[in-house]
Amino acid sequence: MIVVDHQASRVSVSVFGEFTLSDYKEFEEVVNYKVRFEGPIDLYFDLTQMQGATLDVAWEELKFSRAHANDFNRVAVVTDSQWVTWSAWISQTFVNADVTVFDDIEEAKAWLEQEATA
């Protein structure tokens, strides 16, 4: 299950339990709308409660990253999983964005706010 929140120039996603393809499609829909009407945006992912992801999510993420190579400014990923950290760094090769992995939610949010006001 995911919770998606969006505000000006940012989409925030929190994942709880297993990250499924239907969850990812919900995320994609919001991002596509924001990018279409606002241009490049920031992304915030809280994956601290994620229990895993289905294989089709990994494939969809790869396709999505390639299709949106220039649509993101900053991407903050919060996780304590080495696998997710590794995955985030690989995704960075497909997007022209500053991707940073955090283990603290408040640090990630502060980084996005600091960059937004700079």
The domain made up of 2-117 has a fold known as Rossmann fold (3.40.50)
Please write the tens of the pLDDT for every residue from 50-92.
898 888 888 888 888 888 889 999 999 998 877 666 566 666 6
Residue listed under structure tokens 């999983």: 81
Strand order in the sheet with 98-102: 2-7, 10-19, 41-53, 72-78, 98-102
Q: CA angle, corner 14, sides to 88 and 60, nearest 5? A: 50
Q: Residue 108: what pLDDT?
A: 95
Max Cα-Cα span within the chain: 38
| Residue 82: how many other CB atoms lie within 10 Å | 8
For the chain, give every domain's residue range: 2-117
Q: Report whether pLDDT(96) > 60.
A: yes
- In this structure, are residues 47 and 12 in contact, taking their beta carbons and an 8 Å threshold? no
